[in-house]
């Protein structure tokens, strides 16, 4: 079994980005600027956005965190988005999800300028991704592709089973793994809450990508020998013995599945850090595109 070490690879990617940013500074060019909008006080979202902003600083980007209260109206959020769309200093921005119930997420994602949509969630960018056009690929799927590539994992003709059809991970992942090229050229099965006989399906998978958010969902008996297992789950489980009062766990019964897998991602330290690295990569791409247009 080989560990797909997202922590290590994400650090390599950040160093590559930092070197490019240092050159930009040397040439006196504007460096990439990422903004993040966080609405409300959800603990997990605060942690993720905090990591994104800190990572920006580490690679030499500029960053702006816009915190809005949980009572923010849809109109107020749309107005803030318009402001960031029009701010020439900002190359890319994200609206952290989930949003409070009074706000229509689809309306919000449609309001983001596709040229600044470094999450790749705008329908125009999602459509371009599905049509193999150059665009911003959503950070988590992009990070998984990058891990498969850097560890030379063969995907051609393999049966990839994706568990979960979220717009952020499962759906785009299923499209990307079936694309022409590498990583891709897989035969993809997208499973979800209405899938019958899931064990029968996962047992036939060469590659399993689980993005469900249910701790210990994927057990050893659901996985064939030498499968590649990617765990996208990040669930906080309450635990008074831990300093933070919780621990983080994935969808996969790591202890037992890792004995059968050829490659496997740990949680934490697998897909999570890759997501942040790829968001930075998309922001760098946004800056390069803006520069070449001026």
* Residue nearest ligand GUN by beta-carbon distance: 97
Q: How far is the CB of 261 from ligand GUN (least distance, A)?
A: 25
Considering only the stretches 17-25, 95-103, 128-136, 263-271, report the one whose residues sit in contact with ligand GUN under the rule CB under 6 A. 95-103
By CB under 6 A, tell whether 77 contacts ligand GUN: no
Of the residues 5, 91, 117, 119, which one makes contact with ligand GUN according to CB under 6 A? 119
Considering only the stretches 88-96, 143-151, 154-162, 178-186, report the one whose residues sit in contact with ligand GUN under the rule CB under 6 A. 88-96
Contacts of 96 (CB under 8 A, 6+ apart): 36, 37, 38, 39, 45, 48, 49
By CB under 6 A, tell whether 282 contacts ligand GUN: no
Of the residues 63, 135, 140, 283, which one makes contact with ligand GUN according to CB under 6 A? 140
Of the residues 97, 124, 130, 220, which one makes contact with ligand GUN according to CB under 6 A? 97
Given the residues 5, 14, 80, 96, the one annotated as active site: 96
Query: Is 82 a known active-site residue?
Result: no
Of the residues 55, 96, 155, 265, which one makes contact with ligand GUN according to CB under 6 A? 96
Q: How far is the CB of 139 from ligand GUN (least distance, A)?
A: 5
CB 260 within 8 A of CB 223: yes
By CB under 6 A, tell whether 168 contacts ligand GUN: yes
- Tokens 């035969």: give the residue: 187
Interface with ligand GUN in residues 216-275 (CB under 6 A): 275
Of the residues 35, 59, 90, 139, which one makes contact with ligand GUN according to CB under 6 A? 139
Contacts of 244 (CB under 8 A, 6+ apart): none
Q: How far is the CB of 48 from ligand GUN (least distance, A)?
A: 7
Query: Is 119 a known active-site residue?
Result: yes
Please identify, using beta-carbon distances, which residue of 211 and 227 lies nearer to ligand GUN: 211
What's the chain look like in SS3?
A: CEECCHHHHHHHHHHHHHHHHHHHHHCCCCCCEEEEEEECCCHHHHHHHHHHHHHHHHHCCEEEEEEECCCCCHHHHHHHHHHHHHCCCCCEEEECCCCCCCCCHHHHHHHCCHHHECCCCCHHHHHHHHCCCCCCCCHHHHHHHHHHHHCCCCCCCCEEEEECCCCCCHHHHHHHHCCCCCCCCCEEEEECCCCCCHHHHHCCCCEEEECCCCCCCECHHHCCCCCEEEECCCEEEECCCCCCCEEEECCECHHHHCCCCCEECCCCCCHHHHHHHHHHHHHHHHHHHHHHHC
Please identify, using beta-carbon distances, which residue of 32 and 92 lies nearer to ligand GUN: 92
By CB under 6 A, tell whether 160 contacts ligand GUN: no
Size of the site for ligand GUN (CB under 6 A): 9
Footprint on this chain of ligand GUN (rule: CB under 6 A): 94-97, 119, 139-140, 168, 275
Catalytic residue annotation: 52, 96, 119
């Amino acid at each position: 079994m080989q560990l797909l070490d997202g922590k290590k690879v994400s650090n390599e990617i950040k160093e590559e980005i930092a070197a490019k940013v240092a050159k930009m500074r040397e040439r006196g060019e504007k460096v990439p600027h990422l903004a993040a909008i966080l609405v409300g006080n959800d603990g997990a979202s605060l942690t993720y956005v905090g990591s994104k902003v800190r990572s920006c600083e580490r690679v030499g980007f500029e960053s702006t965190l816009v915190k809005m209260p949980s009572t923010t109206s849809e109109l107020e959020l749309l107005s803030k988005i318009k402001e960031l769309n029009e701010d020439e200093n900002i190359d890319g921005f994200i609206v952290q999800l989930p949003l409070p119930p009074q706000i229509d997420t689809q309306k919000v994602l449609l309001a983001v300028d596709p040229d600044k949509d470094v999450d790749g969630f705008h329908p125009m960018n999602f459509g371009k991704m599905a049509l193999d056009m150059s665009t911003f690929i959503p950070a988590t799927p992009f990070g998984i592709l990058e891990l498969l590539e850097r560890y030379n994992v063969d995907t051609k003709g393999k049966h990839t089973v994706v568990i979960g059809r979220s717009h952020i991970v499962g759906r785009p992942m299923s499209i990307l793994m079936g694309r022409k090229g590498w990583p891709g050229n897989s035969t993809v099965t997208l499973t979800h809450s209405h899938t019958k006989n899931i064990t029968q399906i996962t047992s036939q998978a060469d590659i399993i990508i689980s993005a469900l958010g249910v701790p210990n969902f994927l057990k050893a008996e659901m996985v064939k020998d030498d499968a590649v297992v990617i765990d996208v789950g990040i669930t906080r489980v309450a635990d008074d013995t831990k300093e933070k009062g919780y621990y983080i766990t994935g969808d996969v019964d790591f202890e037992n599945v890792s004995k059968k897998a050829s490659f496997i991602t740990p949680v934490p330290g697998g897909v999570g850090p890759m997501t942040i690295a790829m968001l930075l990569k998309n922001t760098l791409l946004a800056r390069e595109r803006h520069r070449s247009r001026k």
